[in-house]
Amino acid sequence: MNAFAKFWLAAVLIVSVSALGKLSAADVTLTKTQPTGTDWNNASYWSNNAAPTADNDYFVTGGYALRSPENTSGVDVNVFAGGSLTIGNNDSTGTFAMKATGQTVSNLILHNGIISNAKAPNAIVTLAGSVTVTGTNAKIESRGNPDTRSLYLRAKISGANGTTLTYETGSAASKIWVLNPDNDFAGTVVLFANSHTYLYNDGNTTDTVGKLGADTVSLVTNSGSKLHVNADQTFSSWTTNYYSATQVREFDIPNGAYVVETKADQDALAVAGISAQIGDTITITNSTRTAQTYYLTEQAWEDAGWDQTGAWAVGSATGEVSTNIPTLGDTVHVAYTMRTRASTSAVTQNLLGTIYIDAGGSLGLKNAGSTIVNIPDLVLNGGGVGNWKEGNTTSILTGNILVETKSSVTHDPNRSVEIRSTITGTADLNVTVNNGTATRSNLILTADNSGYTGRFLVGARAQFETTADNALGRGGFSTAGNNKIILGGAQSVQAIDIAGTDANTITVKDSLAATTVNITGTTTTFDDAGGTLSFGTLNIDPGSTYTQGDFKSTVTFANGFSAETLRLKSSNVVVTGGDVVIGKDDLSTSLWVPTVGEIYTASGNYKVALDLSGATSSTIQVDHFEIVTSTSGPNAVPFAEVTLAPKAMIRANSLSIASSNATGLYWEIRNNILTLGADTTTIAVDDIYVGGGTFYNEDGGAIEGTKGQGTIQAVANGKVTLTGTDGVSAANMYVGSALIWTGGGGKGVVDLRGITEDSVINLNQLSLARKSSDAGSAIGIFSMDAGTVNVETLTLATSDNTGTTAAATFNLEGGTLNVKNVLQGTNTGKEVVNFNFTNGTLNVENWGTSDIPLALNQEGGSLTTSAEEMMIYGNYIQTAGRLLLDLGMQKVIVNGELALKVLAVDIADEFFFDENALYEVAQVQNVEDFVLEDYLNDLVVVGEGLLEEYQFSHAILGTSLYVGTLDAVSAAVPEPSSWMILLLGTAALLGMRRYRKQYVTV
């Protein structure tokens, strides 16, 4: 081979080797956009006409789009086979469209291009491998229209300082999850408007918490965008782009660490673009901006709004005017009028920074409809907030409100402010209405305000509403008249004050609990919305100027209430439904109707009523229950009517009705009435005073009183049960007691007529009419016609002084009176006793005493005894009715005259009857003129069986009355010193059902 040939051969070899070297590491570009059905493995779209291999670097520029393969059966992750994949260059952009559920690119370089979730609709795709950002126009997106696409970025994200990466989802419905904890991106991350990027697993993946990048990463958030974090984050800088109504303004967040301690911290960060969890810390290390204090220098008028340029001065109200507006971290003071922008659209207006509405300042809300004004940190420092949007509008305010100094929420009558903000602070908040009477709820509270301890002071003619639990906070509210309060949600507050001469209506939909409620208004209605009322102390006192003989205020409860303590004065309390509970189980409170300890004057002739008849039930459990008791005067005539619910219970240590140690409470003028329940009434009280007697002051001290007229009135067909406080023992009842010298008297009436037959009254002491002074008088009246009254001792008419009268009346018209001892208290000549025995059963052991005989006049009914001997001291005159005794086991001993119309005898179950014996049934003692004709007119034998074959009669032997068979009476031979007259009566052979004696222990 010649030299020339050798040269060319060497040259060809060199070129060939060079060509082979270039083929092994070639730069391959995408020649056009890949259509549907193609992907990165299609060779015809690459400049080398070959599918990607690891030896080559691949580039997508010219605005072209590269597609990953669609999912194929059995393939979950599609791996790009090239050595690297670069999207975009300095001259043009490119797009990597991810079409598979999962794809991996080991070396993805994003320069001036887009990585996009292009799998539609509503798809979730995953990118693994690594992404290196090298340019300033790089974007990763997951968006569609309309759908909800999401992208899991498990790939490691890197990039040097000076690069920019934008995340875009288009809306909150689409999401990007940055899930690699090793991300070290050090450039600037921009969140596109309304985009949502997450740095943690929200439950749809099993990935650990990711990072946005290195601690030197910079963050830019735009209107509506959110970076969702749930761990501490550090940024070199953070800039938020706030979209006002006219332009975009950029704000750098100042240096410092934001510790998310409260919801207010969360809201402030969220407005600017970070949704963090309580406990996280957001730290900015290298921002050049410092926080500013802004002052409103002029009014923000209708055409501008709060964000108008030039409205803010820095440092002071007279400081340098700023071209910026406040943002997060800044402090804002408003002493003029600051308006939000007029709007009815659904766009939220976000007012960043801590905004103080100072004295003289106001925040005018111009939004209406679905528009929301969000102020994360609003401090009311003596200024006001109001709806300034014309028409029947509602302005919505969200965020957090601190009431630092007494401030106001002001409205026109047809406008409302709905505060969804959380309210805290200790100062009061005025709720007022301008220019007329409210036609709708002026203030609506929809958040839990448990941290607020101030009070809502509702001005005259305003309306007020809550919809959430604890929306009232803990302080409470007051009204000034013509107010409508609508309370939804469970509310528990310290104090409620209801005032005003115009009617107030409070509607409770769920529950309202208050430690203290003071009602001084003339008309108050707790409307029936099915809610419950629970009060510690309920004071109803309309003031010191009263209407003569009538109420000054009326309070209506449409669904009942409960109160540990109730105080009434010159008011009419009416319950029309629900249950009423007054007092406590431990009897640690007392009930006075009206309020005890008041200074009653001569002009205080007012009426008090507690009408529970419309309630389903009433339960009163107190230490002392007092109706018109007073330690003051003179010449005051308050009077009260208390009516219990159909199902009622009173449990107390004492019950006092109408008593005073003053010169007032003229019983001749006013009657004070306790009306029992129409269905069932259970009374468990140790001591009952009706019409004078002992009462108790607020310290629990016992006071002897007089000068009152009191009545306990039963309701027809109502069942009554009365015992001591423990529900087992017997009570003490004192009816008509004038115990001190006052120039008046005590009159008590207990009228149980009409109660059911199964009613039971258990009394230890029953005292009717006791007078202890030489002034006034005492009157006690007790009436019954059904049921059973068990009494240990019945004392009639006691006069401890000869100057006045004690008049006792007992009307036994039916039922059963079981009494062990009946006596007259004294015998001074000033006692008047009327025991009107016209029907029913009187079961007595001892009647009168040897010192003070007491006449027993029977005009009907049945007289019987539970003892072997019934002792009667005084004349026993029977004009109607009958005397019923167990033959051979019981007898009557009369120390006085005896006149019988009907004697009824029975044989006790345990007694053996002897047909040949005479049985003594009555003795007459201590009577000189014994008139036989005044004895028995008729003998009735009660029983059946063994008595049917006998004929009975009676005989007078000396001063005794005997009963036996006709033969036994005829065969009786008197002793020589005695005389006998036999009055033979017709035998009484009765086919009646045998009477079995009922023994009652009293």
So what's the pLDDT on residue 920? 93
Residues 133, 108: contact at Cβ < 8 Å?
Answer: no
pLDDT tens-digit readout, 107-161: 999 999 999 999 988 888 999 999 999 999 999 999 877 788 889 999 999 999 9
pLDDT band at 439 (very low <50, low <70, confident <90, very high): confident
330 bridge partner residues? none
Say if residue 615's pLDDT is above 60.
Answer: yes
- The percentage of residues in the chain with a pLDDT greater than 90, rounded to a whole number, is 61
Q: Average pLDDT in the 785-807 region?
A: 92
So what's the pLDDT on residue 985? 34
Rounded distance between C-alpha atoms, residue 331 and residue 334, angstroms? 10
Sign (positive or negative) of CA dihedral 935, 937, 941, 947: positive
Rounded distance between C-alpha atoms, residue 918 and residue 964, angstroms? 5
Say if residue 630's pLDDT is above 80.
Answer: no
So what's the pLDDT on residue 549? 63
pLDDT tens-digit readout, 705-717: 877 889 999 999 9
Say if residue 66's pLDDT is above 50.
Answer: yes
- The percentage of residues in the chain with a pLDDT greater than 70, rounded to a whole number, is 88
pLDDT band at 17 (very low <50, low <70, confident <90, very high): very low
pLDDT tens-digit readout, 512-570: 999 999 999 999 999 989 999 999 999 998 876 655 567 888 999 999 999 999 998 88
For residue 462, the SS3 value is: coil
Listed residue (178, 126, 119, 176) closest to 147, CA to CA: 119
Sign (positive or negative) of CA dihedral 8, 9, 12, 18: negative
Say if residue 174's pLDDT is above 80.
Answer: yes
Least confident of 705-709, 859-863, 934-938: 934-938
Rounded distance between C-alpha atoms, residue 119 and residue 482, angstroms? 63
608 bridge partner residues? 640
pLDDT band at 391 (very low <50, low <70, confident <90, very high): confident
Q: How does DSSP assign 797-828, residue by residue?
A: EEESSTTS-EEEEEEEEEEEEEEEEEEES--S
Per-position b or e across 8-36, b if 16+ CB within 10 A of its CB:
eeeeeeeeeeeeeeeeeebebbbeebbee
Say if residue 33's pLDDT is above 80.
Answer: yes
So what's the pLDDT on residue 280? 93
Say if residue 170's pLDDT is above 80.
Answer: no
Q: Average pLDDT in the 609-627 region?
A: 96
Rounded distance between C-alpha atoms, residue 82 and residue 84, angstroms? 5
Q: Average pLDDT in the 302-328 region?
A: 79
pLDDT band at 326 (very low <50, low <70, confident <90, very high): confident
Rounded distance between C-alpha atoms, residue 445 and residue 464, angstroms? 8
Q: Average pLDDT in the 854-870 region?
A: 97
Task: Give the phi and the psi of residue 971 in degrees, each rounded to 5.
Answer: -85, -5
Mean pLDDT of the chain: 87
For residue 990, the SS3 value is: coil
Listed residue (195, 275, 449, 242) closest to 348, CA to CA: 242
So what's the pLDDT on residue 343? 76
User: 326 versus 895: which is more confidently predicted?
Assistant: 895
Rounded distance between C-alpha atoms, residue 251 and residue 238, angstroms? 9
pLDDT tens-digit readout, 880-910: 999 999 999 999 999 998 988 899 998 877 7
Phi-psi region of 980 (alpha: psi -120 to 50; beta: other; left: phi over 0): beta
Most confident of 34-48, 532-546, 584-598: 34-48
Sign (positive or negative) of CA dihedral 533, 538, 543, 549: positive
Residues 874, 854: contact at Cβ < 8 Å?
Answer: yes
For residue 44, the SS3 value is: helix
Continuous H helices in 166-298: 263-272
For residue 766, the SS3 value is: strand
Using the structure block, give the residue that is written with the tokens 């002009």: 603
Listed residue (860, 919, 922, 862) closest to 897, CA to CA: 922
Q: How does DSSP assign 602-663, residue by residue?
A: TT---EEEEE-TTSSEEEEEEEEEEEEEES--SS---EEEEE--SEEEEEEEEEEEEEESSS
Sheet containing 164-168: which strands, arranged edge to edge? 65-67, 94-98, 113-117, 138-141, 164-168, 188-191, 218-221, 237-243, 248-252
Least confident of 154-163, 352-361, 512-521, 617-626: 352-361
Residues 366, 396: contact at Cβ < 8 Å?
Answer: no
Cβ count within 10 A of residue 728: 9
Percent helix, strand, coil in the chain (nearest 5)? 5, 50, 45
Residues 573, 557: contact at Cβ < 8 Å?
Answer: yes
Say if residue 11's pLDDT is above 50.
Answer: no
Q: Output the six-digit token pair for 49.
A: 């006409």
Rounded distance between C-alpha atoms, residue 486 and residue 812, angstroms? 53
Listed residue (972, 966, 955) closest to 988, CA to CA: 966
Rounded distance between C-alpha atoms, residue 244 and residue 264, angstroms? 22
pLDDT band at 999 (very low <50, low <70, confident <90, very high): very low
Torsion of CA 165, 170, 171, 177, to 10 degrees: -40
Rounded distance between C-alpha atoms, residue 911 and residue 917, angstroms? 13
Give the DSSP H/E element, type plus range, for residue 931: none
Contacts of residue 589, defined as CB under 8 A and 6 or more positions apart, other chains included, come to: 564, 565, 583, 622, 623
pLDDT tens-digit readout, 657-692: 988 877 555 444 578 999 999 999 999 999 999 998
